[in-house]
Structure 1
Amino acid sequence: MDAHLELVLCAPELAVLAALEATLRASAAALTAAHAELEAEDFAASPHPPSAQACLAAALLIQVEALQHSLRRYRTLIVMREEWALVAPPSELSPS
Structure 2
Amino acid sequence: MDDHLELVLCAPELAVLSALEATLSASAAALTAAHAELEAEDFAASPHPPSAQACLAAALLTQVEALQHSLSRYRTLVVMQEEWARVAPASELASS
Normalising TM by the smaller chain, what interval? over 0.9
> Structure 1, residues 4-39: CA drift from partner, whole Å, max 9, x if none?
111100000000000000000000000000000000
Look up the match of 2:33: 33
Deviation >4 Å, runs of 4+: none
Report the residue type matching 1:16 in the other structure: V
> Structure 1, residues 41-88: CA drift from partner, whole Å, max 9, x if none?
000000100000000000000000000000000000000001001111
Look up the match of 1:18: 18
TM-score when normalising by structure 2? 0.97
Identity rate of aligned residues, in percent? 89
Q: Any unmatched runs of 5+ in structure 2? A: none
**Aligned-residue CA RMSD in angstroms?**
0.8
SS of the residue corresponding to residue 30 of structure 1 reads helix
Look up the match of 1:47: 47
CA distance in structure 1 between the partners assigned to 2:72 and 2:50 by the alignment: 31
Q: Any unmatched runs of 5+ in structure 1? A: none
Q: CA deviation at 1:2?
A: 1.1
SS of the residue corresponding to residue 50 of structure 1 reads coil
